[in-house]
Homo-oligomer: A and B are copies of this chain.
Amino acid sequence: MPDSPALADSLHTGSQVRQACRTGEWTGPTCGLAAGYAQANLAILPQSDAYEFLEFCRRNPKPCPLLDVTSPGSPVPESVAPGSDLRTDLPSYRVWRDGERTSEPTDILDFWQDDFVAFVIGCSFTFESALLRAEIPVRHLELGSNVPMYRTNVETRGAGRYHGPLVVSMRPLSPADAIRAVQITSRYPGVHGAPVHLGLPEEIGINDLSQPDFGDAVPIHEGELPVFWACGVTPQAVIMASRPKLAITHSPGCMFVTDIRDETLSTG
């Protein structure tokens, strides 16, 4: 039975999660698996499109903090998971053609090209671990759901053909916890860092928090503020807006689990 709680409990390392993805045993969200290991967003493009995307990431480090970029044609992110294979080691992928999602396979062996470059982008799961250690509750983790994510009216800084809206994830927090969360996540610039916004969603073009563009809605209790972080799903919104001929990403929530520990991404 895929994605069973018993299987989840047996996946303690990045390598174990990747193996379960590779064999098809695990095809669902990776949230909560291999606690302490950094998870990552994925974007894959042909080399001809890769330079501009690399520059796009450099210009937008909050949504697109690069943990690794593969050599053209290699599916191995050498610095974060040397023994892995990005073609098989994620639970689920999205294939995009001209900005439209055309399929959602569980591996991309049939789609792989010798000129592909893979961008491994930091993920907020890393700082969520730090929030939990500081006894700051994370609503979507309590509910066992995916974090709510929203397209904003904030434009990323474009590079070449790449442009599009900033996507943010949202966590409801009490004001005191929001302040602590700014302090804590500031120490993790490699995984989106400090929030980009809080308290006034309409100021960034979010008019209905109960209707996220990705992930699941979560309740916001009285006395809580919505706190927004730049999100690694931004590349998917950028692919939709920029319409490259071919691109592959992870499915939201179904991340690449690396071999590096969350704490190696903390500045202090």
Stoichiometry (number of copies): 2
Contacts of A223 in B (CB 8 A): 200, 203
Overall SS of chain A's interface: mixed
Residue A194 at the chain B interface, CB threshold 8 Å: yes
Q: Report the Cα distance A198→B194, complex, angstroms.
A: 16
**Tally of contact residues, A, Cβ under 8 A:** 18
A 196-213 contacts with B by CB, 8 A: 196-200, 203
Task: Decide: B194 and A179 in contact? CB cutoff 8 A.
Answer: yes
Q: Which residue of B lies closest to A201 (CB)?
A: B175
Residue A178 at the chain B interface, CB threshold 8 Å: yes
Contacts of A198 in B (CB 8 A): 175, 178-179, 198-199, 225
Contacts of A179 in B (CB 8 A): 182, 194-198
- List 14 other contacts, CB 8 Å, given A182-B183, A183-B183, A199-B199: A174-B203, A175-B197, A175-B199, A175-B200, A175-B203, A176-B196, A178-B198, A179-B196, A182-B182, A186-B186, A198-B198, A198-B199, A198-B225, A203-B223
